[in-house]
Each structure stands twice: as structure tokens, then as C-alpha cells.
Structure 1
Amino acid sequence: MDSIVEKIKSGELIPFLGMGIFEDTKCKDGSTLPYDSDSMILALNNGRAMSPRLMYEYSRAAMSLEQRKGREFIIQMTNHIYSSKEYEIPDTYKWLATLKPKYVIDTNMDDSLQKIYSDCNHFLITGVSRITADWDRYLIYFYDVDTKAYTRVEKDKLTLDLPILFKPMGSTKPEMNFIISDADFVDWLTEAMGGYAMPEILKEYRKNKEYLFLGVDFSRDTFRMVTNEVTIGLESGIVLFNKDELTKKEDKFIKTHNLTALNMSINEFIKSHE
């Protein structure tokens, strides 16, 4: 059996998913879902481009929209992007559904990951920001396959006996919580650096692990910082890039994190490891 598949199944190689896995994903009405920073900005702003300064990264654009239209607008608009239309689950999720990794990190904000684990009990951890009740920037849920429902649980209930789905940037379900604007990321990253972005059990589990980065954009400062905090203690990993040349920041990040860059599309990679 392929060593990558074996490592994913055993938990030695942890899938880390980004927005790029939605490239070419079509909704039933023919529209597309955001698959990079630019397309996310257009989706948040009703298809209209914003100023070059705001188009640099979607968190910056989201912050501008939040300042003008309010926090609730950004929450509802993000939910609308992923919940208002029917679309087929991307091939990456279909592939992972056959492997059922013990631990998956998914920075996307829709519920595709939850769907592929809906046939088994599991834990779901979603990121939250800008709360005053606690230092922790996450919520933990237990999914009961018999009731088909999520129940929020305390962190002492979390175990490694069941699959753990970690969505640090939040999700549409079971509750709408999104890390999307600059203010969200600043708050989340600040607490992450203090050790409050994930439960202690995962901090131990992640030590000396390898990661498989699919659709993650390392050309943007924000997601390099998110990745750095979530994968502290990593041993090595694989990252896919389907373009001619890496930026200097991407190249530096890959080298300092002992990652191997493969110049191939996600679909090519999946087909070679089915």
C-alpha cells in the first residue's frame, strides 16, 4: 500500500486543508465557490473588486466591510457563501472519506469535513475569536452518530479514541463562528501564541508529526502564521504547489519547516494515491 495512505490512516501524516481545494468546485446553479483570497473577497463583496490595498488579502477586505456594515454582516455573508447553494463535496474530501484520518486540520469554513465523518462518532473543534469569557479560542463538540447531532463538551471530555476534526478558522455548523477579518485573526493569533488556540491533548499529539498541506496559500502572511501556530513541533511534511515559481516568502517558509514542495495539482496527487 502507498506509504502516504498508510501514514494518513495511522495518524503519522496529518492532512491540513486550505481554500485551494475548492478550485473548480461548481455549485448547482453554475456559480463557483471561493478558492483563493481574491475570489473570497469578490464573494464577500457581491462580486465587486475592492481597492488594491484591500485586495491584498481577504482578511483585510473583510475588516473593511465589517467596519462599514457591522460584524453581523460579515458573519451572515460568510455563512451565505457556503450555505445558500448546493455544491458537490470537493474531491479532496471524498478521498479523505475513504481514509478517515484520526486527525484533520481544515481551515475552510464550510461543513464538508463534517459531512464525510457523519457516519461515525467524532469530536469537532472550531475556532472562535473576540470573546471575553475565556482565554481559549476554540469550542469542542461531540458528534453522536445515533442522534446525528453535535453537543458542546468541556475539554476534559476530549480523547484520542475518536477522530478529531479541527477547524481553527471556524465553521458554518454546528454554530456560526468565523475567523475571517483582521480583528478576528489578530485576536486568534495573539491567543494562539499564548497557547490558547487548541486543547492540550492536541498539543501533545502534534509533536514530531508530518503534515500534508493541500490547497493552503503560503504566499499570504496570515496563513503562514496560522500554520506555524497549529503545527508547532512538526517533523516534516509535503506541500503541493501547482505553479511555475514560489515566492521568496513561500520558499523560506517551506525550508524552515522542513517541507517538501511538489509541483502538481491536488487532483493529480489524489489520483496517484487512490
Structure 2
Amino acid sequence: MNAPVPQIDFAAPADAEAIFSGIVARLRGGDVIPYLGPGVAELAGPAVPMNPEALAAFFGTRVALPRRARGNAWASAQHIESTRHRATVTALMADAFATPVAPTALHRHLATLPLPLIVDSWYDGAMRSALAARSDWGEIQGITRAGIGEDRWYRFYDAAGQEVDRAQAKDWTTILYKPHGSVAPAKNFLISDADYVEVLTEIDIQTPIPDEVKARRTGRSFLFLGCRFNDQLLRTYARQLSKRSADIHYAVVEPDALSKNELRFLVSQGLMPLAIPLPRAIELVLAG
């Protein structure tokens, strides 16, 4: 028997914006962590895949995919890795994101703030580009462990894009955390089912999450902007990254676009959904 779909009473637009304005003030003060999904950069219409479905379609233009893999980015990448080589997956991902994604006004605005942590959940380099004028920040990226022979889950890069020791992360004013990797600066990608099997085996005990990210999320809320939760993998990452932080988190959503699983996720995780169009939410952040 299917579980009933939870009902959410969304706040009226004026009330939602009032709540959101308070969240923006806390974000500026460093008490709220922005968790950016691909929907933020997608507003600018970049010439790269900006959601999992578009990425799956890109794979389908380069490789003949079996029916079971079509439309699913992770399964498509796994098929390519299994039938060709991991290097082929990396090359295709680098090709998919070869065109630089320009930072949006939100990226540039966030880059001016001394935020302790920014989470960016897509593969483009827009947030890194926005931070380029600063030198007091660094980046932590999730990495594939396929064939590298290393007992590591992530790598550390300074503002110049050079790989550095993890000890430097404590001194960074802002950490940009890219849990799935990124095209810049070193073409690290978590994308295939095999990549995520290892991560998901350990993520419940938090091993794949960097210690400095764990430290900086403590006591803070997350604000999800441009994110969808319509895939189990995306829900798992959002759930695990927001563990052991504040008791309440926030998500800007479009109520009419939410799937049943997304509604269940919002309720089960205690996420406060704010029915504000993403462009309007960004306006409020910029004005805050």
C-alpha cells in the first residue's frame, strides 16, 4: 500500500517573503549556509547540461545507451564506464562542461560575503569563478575512487586552483564545497552508479564528508536554492550534509512542480518550504 502524500500548507506569498528576508539576514551573518542547486545557474541559460536529465540526454548524443540507462545520468555514466573505460566518462563530462558557466548575480553576491561555507551541488565552475577575486578561500571537492588506489573521498584546492593539504582548510574564511566534484580546476567527477555505491555505503556514518565541512555546519541552517529532490541520490546528499547542524532548514520551491517523493522528503526532513519563485528569491538575497 502506498504511503499517503503529505499535505503542506504553504505560507502566503507576503508571509513567505517576510520569513525569507529574515533568513537572508541570517545568511549575511553567517548563520545560514547556502546550498546551491543547478537551478541557480540555469536561470542564465548556459550552454551546458544544468540538470541530471539534460546530462543524461548529453550522454545519449555521444554513446548508444540501453533503454534501462536512458534518461538517468548516473546509470548512463555507469554503462559507459562498464562498456568502455572510466577515462571515457571523465572525458565526456569534461566535454559536457567545457563551456565556462558565467557567474550569476547571486554567485557574485555570495562571493562578496565572508560566508563560512557554500555548498554547490552541480559540476560547473560558476561559483569558483565568482570567488576568483578573493584569496582567503578554498574548495573541497568530492572525488571518484575508481582506480586511483587512494583511501580518500575528497581533495582540497586553494583559490589559485592548486591542490593543497587538508590542514590549510581551517584557515580559509570561506569554503566552497562541491560534493559531486567539478570541471574546475581538476575535472573531478562523481557521476557513475559505482562512484556513489562507495559513497552511499559510508555516508550514513559521515565518512565521505570532510571534517571542516562538518565543523562549519554545526549550529547552522541550510538554505536550498535552485535544488530539486526528485531523485533518491539528491535527497540522500541533502539529508546527510544537513545532519548534525541546526534543527530547521529552508528550501525555495515551486509547489506545483513538486513530486510526491519531494513532498514526503520536505516533511520527513523538517525542511521549511518557501513558495517563492527562484528569480524573486534571488532578488531578495541581493537586496538583503
TM-score of the alignment, normalized to the shorter chain, above 0.5 = yes
The answer (yes or no) to whether the contact 1:4–1:273 under 8 Å persists in 2 is: no
Q: 2:239 aligns with which of 215, 223, 228?
A: 228
Pick the aligned partner of 1:42 from 54, 57, 64: 57
Does the residue aligned with 1:197 lie in a helix, a strand or coil? coil
In the alignment, structure 1 residue 170 sits paired with structure 2 residue 164: no
Gaps of 5+ in 2: 1-19
Structure 1: unaligned runs, 5 residues or longer:
144-148
TM-score for both structures, normalised by structure 1: 0.85
- Does the aligned pair in 2 maintain the 1:75–1:176 contact within 8 Å? yes
| 1:137–1:191 contact (8 Å) kept in structure 2 | no
Matched letter for residue 97 of structure 2: Y
Superposed CA offset, 1:245-264 (max 9, x none): 53232122212222111223
Structure showing the higher helix proportion among its residues: 2
Distance in structure 1 (CA, Å) of the matches to 2:124 and 2:82:
24
d(CA) in 1 for partners of 2:252, 2:64: 28
Change (3 A) 1:179 1:188: same
2:250 to 213, 222, 238: 238
Seen in structure 2, the aligned counterparts of structure 1 residues 252 and 62 have a Cα distance that, compared at 3 Å, is same
Alpha-carbon separation, structure 2, partners of 1:47 and 1:267? 33
Matches within 5 A, 1:83-162: 83=98, 85-121=99-135, 122-130=137-145, 133-143=149-159, 149-159=160-170, 161-162=172-173
Identify if the C-alpha distance between structure 1 residues 12 and 5 changes in structure 2 by more than 3 Å, giving closer, same or farther. same
- Within 1, Cα distance between the matches of 2:90 and 2:220? 34
Q: CA deviation at 1:51?
A: 5.8
How much does 1:210 deviate? 0.8
Mapped contact 2:100–2:124 kept (Cα < 8 A): no
Q: Give the 3-state SS of the residue equivalent to 2:61 in structure 1.
A: coil
Task: Let me know the Cα RMSD of the aligned residues.
Answer: 2.5
Instruction: Please tell me whether residue 71 in structure 1 is matched to residue 86 in structure 2.
Output: yes
Question: Given the superposition, is the C-alpha separation of residues 49 and 233 from structure 1 closer, same or farther in structure 2, using an over 3 Å criterion?
Answer: farther
Q: Residue 11 of structure 1: which of 8, 19, 30 is its match?
A: 30
Q: 2-side partners of 1:267 and 1:38: how far apart?
A: 22
SS at match of 1:224: helix
Greater mean alpha carbon deviation, residues 259-268 or residues 113-122: 259-268
Give the 3 Å change call, closer, same or farther, for CA 266–136 of structure 1 in structure 2: same
Tell me the residue number matched to 1:214: 225
Counting matched residue pairs gives 264
How high is the sequence identity, in percent, across the aligned residues? 24
Q: Check if 1:205 corresponds to 2:216.
A: yes
Per the alignment, residue 146 of structure 1 pairs with none
The one-letter code of the counterpart of 1:117 is: L
Q: How many Å apart are 1:161 and its aligned residue?
A: 4.7
Corresponding residue number in structure 2 for 1:57: 72
| Greater RCO (CA < 8 Å, at least 6 residues apart) | 2
Provide the rounded CA distance (Å) in 2 between the counterparts of 1:21 and 1:163.
20
TM-score of the two chains, using structure 2 as the length reference? 0.82
Q: Conserved in 2, the CA contact under 8 Å of 1:38 and 1:55?
A: no
The whole-number CA distance in structure 2 between the counterparts of 1:251 and 1:99 is 32
Change (3 A) 1:252 1:130: same
Instruction: Tell me the SS of whatever aligns to 1:7.
Output: helix
CA distance in 1, matches of 2:52, 2:183: 19
Is the CA contact (8 Å cut-off) linking 1:100 and 1:117 kept in structure 2?
no
Q: Check 1:192–1:154 CA distance in 2 against 1; reply closer, same or farther (3 A cut).
A: farther
Deviation, structure 1 residue 222: 0.6
Q: Distance in 1 between matches of 2:64 and 2:35?
A: 29
Matched, 1:181 2:192: yes
Q: Pick closer, same or farther for the CA change 1:137–1:16 going to 2, 3 Å.
A: same
